[in-house]
């Protein structure tokens, strides 16, 4: 990417119009920190969407709506009763990056090591996408949105405007594990889980588990989820369920594929234990 022109549209329709007209020569820019990873020399026109009022977090019936250009630092500092998004944001990159990098930028183009898609898959988030003044807003679920590289969705000028994260309900807990060599490094493996426990029996009633970084693209782990349903939450079950994970674990940065698999399974079990502990604490 080589920025040849820099546009600051004043409204969402104006930004959409510019991006549609530019086609492949246009590029949405928010924090801009990820451009560092796209170091070819393709000339592009940047369309800065950080001045369109798309920043901020608000509670909205049963969930939280996070504006696409909200910096990770703001998500990290936000506190609300049934909210857990701050946990993963604290562990992404460094203070200076979190002040600039946005939630939208973290998911509009998914890099294999990204933590945010994994958290949003576990939380059953949904995205809101502006598709032009004439078209209805698109609202894909995280499962739909992350089924393929999301960047493809935005080639025609569409703009991610916000992410909706459901509030955690009673007896639901969120847990995540991000394994890194140094605090600011990219994840070697990143895992997130949401468990819902039956208030009477204590058994696992629902589970969403997702992983990334040690695989080519972030994804849910349905085999792990199935192995948990109806069972009593405990360490042995978590390890057993984690061993069912059927993902193309791959080696990188000195890790063999076998090591990645082992690291992922231990991390999945830890994330599940974390989620179960929080679920027990959340009695209402």
Partner 1 sequence: MMNQTAPQPAVTFTLNGETRTFATRPDEKLLDLLRRNGYRGTKFGCGQGTCGACTVIMDGRAIYACLLYSMQAEGRDIRTIEGAGTLDKPSEFQQELIDGGAVQCGYCIPGMVMSATALMEAESTYPDELVKEYMDGNLCRCTGYEKIWDALRRVLDRREAAAKKG
Position 25 contacts partner 1 (CB under 8 A): no
Which of 11, 94, 139, 256 is close enough to bind partner 1 by CB under 8 A? 94
Interacting span for partner 1 (CB under 8 A) from 9-17, 43-51, 188-196, 229-237 = 43-51
Specify the 3-state DSSP secondary structure of 95: helix
Kindly report the backbone phi and psi dihedral angles of residue 129, in degrees, each rounded to the nearest multiple of 5, phi listed first. Answer: -125, 125
First to last CA, the chain: 49
State the Cα–Cα distance between residues 168 and 84, nearest whole angstrom.
8
Nearest distance, CB of residue 163 and partner 1, angstroms: 21
Position 38 contacts partner 1 (CB under 8 A): no
Nearest Cα neighbor of 100 from 32, 3, 8, 27 is: 32
Which of 80, 184, 236, 257 is close enough to bind partner 1 by CB under 8 A? 184
Position 93 contacts partner 1 (CB under 8 A): yes
Interacting span for partner 1 (CB under 8 A) from 90-98, 158-166, 202-210, 233-241 = 90-98
DSSP 187: P
Position 11 contacts partner 1 (CB under 8 A): no
Contact 64, 80 (CB under 8 A): yes
Position 6 contacts partner 1 (CB under 8 A): yes
Position 99 contacts partner 1 (CB under 8 A): yes
Position 100 contacts partner 1 (CB under 8 A): yes
73 CB neighbour count, 10 Å cutoff: 18
Which of 13, 17, 32, 140 is close enough to bind partner 1 by CB under 8 A? 32
State the Cα–Cα distance between residues 60 and 77, nearest whole angstrom.
18
Position 50 contacts partner 1 (CB under 8 A): yes
Interacting span for partner 1 (CB under 8 A) from 61-69, 96-104, 119-127, 275-283 = 96-104
**Which of 8, 205 has the CB closer to partner 1?**
8
On the 0-12 / 13-18 / 19+ scale of CB atoms within 10 A, 90 is middle
Near partner 1 in 55-74, by CB under 8 A = 73
List of residues 6+ apart from 157 with CB closer than 8 A: 16, 17, 18, 19, 20, 21, 26, 132
Position 239 contacts partner 1 (CB under 8 A): no
State the Cα–Cα distance between residues 284 and 75, nearest whole angstrom.
24
Position 197 contacts partner 1 (CB under 8 A): no
Tokens of 106: 């973290």
Which of 10, 183, 200, 283 is close enough to bind partner 1 by CB under 8 A? 183
Specify the 3-state DSSP secondary structure of 126: strand
**Which of 99, 141 has the CB closer to partner 1?**
99
User: Which residues of the shown chain bind partner 1 in the complex (CB under 8 A)?
Assistant: 2-6, 8, 29, 32-33, 36, 46, 48, 50, 73, 90, 93-97, 99-100, 183-184
């Amino acid at each position: 990417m080589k920025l040849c022109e820099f546009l600051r549209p004043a409204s969402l329709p104006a930004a959409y119009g510019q991006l549609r007209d530019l086609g492949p020569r246009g590029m949405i820019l928010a924090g801009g920190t990820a451009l560092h990873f796209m170091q070819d020399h393709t000339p592009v026109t940047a369309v800065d969407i950080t001045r369109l009022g798309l920043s901020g977090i608000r509670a909205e019936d049963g969930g939280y709506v996070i504006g696409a250009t909200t910096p990770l630092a703001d998500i990290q500092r936000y506190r609300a009763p049934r909210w857990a998004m701050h946990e993963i944001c604290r562990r992404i990159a460094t203070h200076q990056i979190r002040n600039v990098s946005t939630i939208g930028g973290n998911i509009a183009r998914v890099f294999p090591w990204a933590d945010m898609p994994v958290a949003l898959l576990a939380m059953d988030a949904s995205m809101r996408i502006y598709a032009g003044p004439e078209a209805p807003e698109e609202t894909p679920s995280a499962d739909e949105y992350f089924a393929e590289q999301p960047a493809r969705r935005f080639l025609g000028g569409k703009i991610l405007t916000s992410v909706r994260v459901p509030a955690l309900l009673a007896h639901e807990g969120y847990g995540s594990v991000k394994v890194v060599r140094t605090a600011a490094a990219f994840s070697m493996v990143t895992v997130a889980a949401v468990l819902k426990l039956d208030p009477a029996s204590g058994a696992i009633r629902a589970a969403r588990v997702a992983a990334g970084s040690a695989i080519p693209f972030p994804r849910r782990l349905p085999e792990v989820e199935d192995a948990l349903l109806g069972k009593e939450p405990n360490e042995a079950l978590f390890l057993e369920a984690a061993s069912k994970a059927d993902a193309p674990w791959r080696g990188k940065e000195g890790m063999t594929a076998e090591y990645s698999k082992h690291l992922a399974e231990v991390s999945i079990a830890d994330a599940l234990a974390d989620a179960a502990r929080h679920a027990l604490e959340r009695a209402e």
